[in-house]
Structure 1
Amino acid sequence: MELTTVWFLLIALLWTGYFVLEGFDFGVGVLLPVLGGDDDDRRSILATIGPVWDGNEVWLIVAGGATFAAFPEWYATLFSGFYLPLFLILVALILRGVAIEYRGKSDSPRSWDRAMFLGSLLPAFLWGVAFANIVRGVPLDADHEYTGSLLTLLNPYALLGGLATLTLFTLHGAVFLTLRTGGDLRARSAALAGRLAVGALLVGGAFLLATQLTVGKAATWVTVAVAAAAIAGALLATLRGRDGWAFTASAVAIIAVTVTLFGSLWPNVMPALDPANSLNVRDAASTPYTLTVMTWVAVIFTPLVLFYQGWTYWVFRRRVTGARVGA
């Protein structure tokens, strides 16, 4: 297998990990004003992600760095053409991080709760918009320069993609809260997860169907079916009180959706509306020497990072009850 293929798969893996782990962070933030009936509830909700949210964002940093090093032309085209949406995502992530850290130190925590909600809602929606455009294709010239505008990115298919990721991440957050909280808060989270699963199945199904009919491959029909079955499984497991299985199923749904998108993208990394101007993995890749060095670094350090993050989740695996965030 060529190193360009290996690194395309590794970058897809990094984005998958980011969406699975950060996805429930986004969902928790979106649900904060919905499930946070009083201040104690809101503190408990935030306590579920307090020890892990910043570690989850490392996946995004590594994915961006790997793209820059392995496929510099892809990175350049993507970040120049999608500058404003990516800038808004960055601002939202900063706002969300500040809200988590400073909520307990403020005399007006509700202001930080609103910041947390907005800082979670925007990325959950905009990541879907961005990836939908990447998979569908954008206007590029012969030099692989983006020639469209912001309105070009806000096409119906991309907006549907944004709604799909928003509903799926919100479902993931509700299932995570069902797994990590107890009492009335857990019951309300489970009830909401059931309703969100129906919405995710409808909106996500419409988006994946549109993807398959426009740019999908024959093989990705399998992952579309897996995504639909996993969402249905999350609903069934939630109704039966099997919280661990419900969270696993929602994670599998996100994995299947991400695999569908990257599977539809291959062998391009930045498709153009004019296929002659599309950027593929070979044209966008760094030199073989650079990819070889990166591969050795990844082989050495990736298991260490995975072990540390897995240990963190194991330490903070118990349900949150009566949490005092920032106290």
Structure 2
Amino acid sequence: MDLTTAWFLIIAFLWIGYFFLEGFDFGVGMLLPVLGRDDVRRRVVINTIGPVWDGNEVWFIVAGASMFAAFPEWYATLFSGFYLPLLLILLALIVRGVAFEYRGKRDDARWRARWDRAIFWGSVLPAFLWGVAFANIVRGVPLDADHEYAGTLLDLLNPYALLGGLTTLTLFVLHGAVFIALKTTGNVRLHARSVARVAAVAALVVAGSFLLVTQTQYGKSWTWLAVAGVAAGLAGAAAANARGREGWAFIGTGTAVVLAFVTLFGSLFPDVMPSTTTAANSLTTQNAASSAYTLEIMTWVALVFTPIVMIYQGWTYWVFRKRIGTAQIPAAKAAKSGKTGRPGEPATRKSPIG
């Protein structure tokens, strides 16, 4: 395996890790108005990701930085041609992060309601637009001889890409519902399980349709295994959720998210940005890559620091592994206190997350 192929696999791993982790973050944000019937329940829902959401976003930063360093032509074409969708994603992520930190700073119901809406829309937009972006990457876009995007915004809003956006949206809603059920107790847990039952059907229909189109038009022979794995993961998640086995259900939804993007990256390789005008204009792992010396240095850096980051993040999840319920957020204390170290964190220090 040469270094260009190795770095394609590393970047695919980083993006897949991002969507596995941030996928349930987006799902939690999108389900906030559904499961958060009052302020205490909303705080329970937010606290399920309170200690980890910002760490999950690090994967996005590292994936983007790795693309810039390993495949600068890919990075330049992607971030210039997809400028508006990616700008909307970045703005949504910024607003969402600010909302997590600021919603509990004032004892004002309207203040919190505004930030809760920001969390919702700051989760919906990236969940949908990431699917649109990656579907277009696999499908291909108009590129000229200089590998520059030669299309318009409307070219990106084609039916296949919109179906890709709905796929990530429904998968992340299901992933988030199962995660909330896994991390909560009482009525919030039961409500999350009921939402997951409905979301599983929607995800199976939408994701199944999108991946079948992807496989028949762009897929490789081996990616049929990944498509089958997505179906098995969703079916297993639905069955486990019905039995109250949230841990197994989360493994199922996580498997579906991972294998859905394995299908996309597998269908894309060895291209990194196919051209719909002529194949000669396509960007590949060879003509989009940095020099061999740059890739060699990056490989040593990745070998040293990637395990450290993964161990630290795994430790964080282990520390904050306990379930949380409304009992950990007394309404009276929550209303009086404006001190929170994490987004929506309970005022009491007896909370399992803080």
Q: TM-score range by the shorter chain?
A: over 0.9
Describe the SS at the equivalent of 2:286.
Answer: helix
Report the Cα distance in structure 1 between the residues aligned to 2:224 and 2:216, rounded to whole angstroms.
10
Q: Which residue of 1 aligns with 2:222?
A: 219
Asked whether 1:299 is paired with 2:303, we answer: yes
Q: Which residue of 2 aligns with 1:81?
A: 81
Report the Cα distance in structure 2 between the residues aligned to 1:109 and 1:94, rounded to whole angstroms.
17
Asked whether 1:288 is paired with 2:281, we answer: no
Describe the SS at the equivalent of 1:57.
Answer: helix
Asked whether 1:137 is paired with 2:140, we answer: yes
Report the Cα distance in structure 2 between the residues aligned to 1:312 and 1:15, rounded to whole angstroms.
20
Q: How does 1:141-156 map to 2 (within 5 A)?
A: 141-156=144-159
Report the Cα distance in structure 1 between the residues aligned to 2:65 and 2:160, rounded to whole angstroms.
28
Structure 2 counterpart of 1:131, one-letter code: F
Identity of aligned residues (%): 67
Q: Which residue of 1 aligns with 2:165?
A: 162
Report the Cα distance in structure 1 between the residues aligned to 2:193 and 2:325, rounded to whole angstroms.
16
Structure 1 counterpart of 2:124, one-letter code: L
Describe the SS at the equivalent of 2:221.
Answer: coil
Q: Which residue of 2 aligns with 1:270?
A: 273
Deviation of 1:234 after TM superposition, in Å, equals: 0.4
Q: Which residue of 2 aligns with 1:37?
A: 37
Describe the SS at the equivalent of 1:141.
Answer: coil
Describe the SS at the equivalent of 1:217.
Answer: coil
Structure 1 counterpart of 2:255, one-letter code: V
Report the Cα distance in structure 2 between the residues aligned to 1:277 and 1:174, rounded to whole angstroms.
42
Q: What TM-score does the superposition give when structure 2 sets the normalisation length?
A: 0.91
Q: How does 1:1-327 map to 2 (within 5 A)?
A: 1-106=1-106, 107=108, 108-273=111-276, 274-322=278-326, 323-324=328-329, 325-326=344-345, 327=347
Q: Contact 2:141/2:149 (CA < 8 Å) preserved in 1? A: yes
Report the Cα distance in structure 2 between the residues aligned to 1:16 and 1:253, rounded to whole angstroms.
11
Q: Contact 2:27/2:123 (CA < 8 Å) preserved in 1? A: yes
State the number of aligned residues.
Answer: 327
Report the Cα distance in structure 1 between the residues aligned to 2:324 and 2:104, rounded to whole angstroms.
17
Deviation of 1:24 after TM superposition, in Å, equals: 0.2
CA deviation vs aligned residue, 1:24-52 (integer Å, no higher than 9, x gap)? 00000000001111000000000000100
Structure 2 counterpart of 1:280, one-letter code: T
Report the Cα distance in structure 2 between the residues aligned to 1:205 and 1:266, rounded to whole angstroms.
21
Structure 2 counterpart of 1:282, one-letter code: Q
Report the Cα distance in structure 2 between the residues aligned to 1:72 and 1:154, rounded to whole angstroms.
25
Structure 1 counterpart of 2:241, one-letter code: T
CA deviation vs aligned residue, 1:142-187 (integer Å, no higher than 9, x gap)? 1110011111100000000000000000000000001000101100
Structure 2 counterpart of 1:154, one-letter code: L
Report the Cα distance in structure 1 between the residues aligned to 2:317 and 2:229, rounded to whole angstroms.
26
Report the Cα distance in structure 1 between the residues aligned to 2:324 and 2:128, rounded to whole angstroms.
28
Q: Contact 2:26/2:173 (CA < 8 Å) preserved in 1? A: yes
Report the Cα distance in structure 1 between the residues aligned to 2:296 and 2:249, rounded to whole angstroms.
39
Report the Cα distance in structure 1 between the residues aligned to 2:161 and 2:217, rounded to whole angstroms.
13
Structure 1 counterpart of 2:301, one-letter code: V
Q: What TM-score does the superposition give when structure 1 sets the normalisation length?
A: 0.99
Deviation of 1:212 after TM superposition, in Å, equals: 1.0
Q: Which runs of 5+ in 1 are unaligned?
A: none
Report the Cα distance in structure 2 between the residues aligned to 1:155 and 1:74, rounded to whole angstroms.
21
Structure 1 counterpart of 2:18, one-letter code: Y
RMSD: 0.7
Deviation of 1:277 after TM superposition, in Å, equals: 1.1
Report the Cα distance in structure 2 between the residues aligned to 1:168 and 1:236, rounded to whole angstroms.
16
Q: Write out the 4+ residue segments of structure 1 that deviate beyond 3 Å after TM superposition.
A: none
CA deviation vs aligned residue, 1:286-317 (integer Å, no higher than 9, x gap)? 00000000000000000000000000000000
Deviation of 1:214 after TM superposition, in Å, equals: 1.3
Report the Cα distance in structure 1 between the residues aligned to 2:281 and 2:172, rounded to whole angstroms.
33
Q: Which residue of 1 aligns with 2:338?
A: none
Q: Contact 2:188/2:325 (CA < 8 Å) preserved in 1? A: no
Q: Contact 2:138/2:268 (CA < 8 Å) preserved in 1? A: yes
Which protein has the bigger helix share? 1
Describe the SS at the equivalent of 1:269.
Answer: strand
Report the Cα distance in structure 1 between the residues aligned to 2:82 and 2:46, rounded to whole angstroms.
31
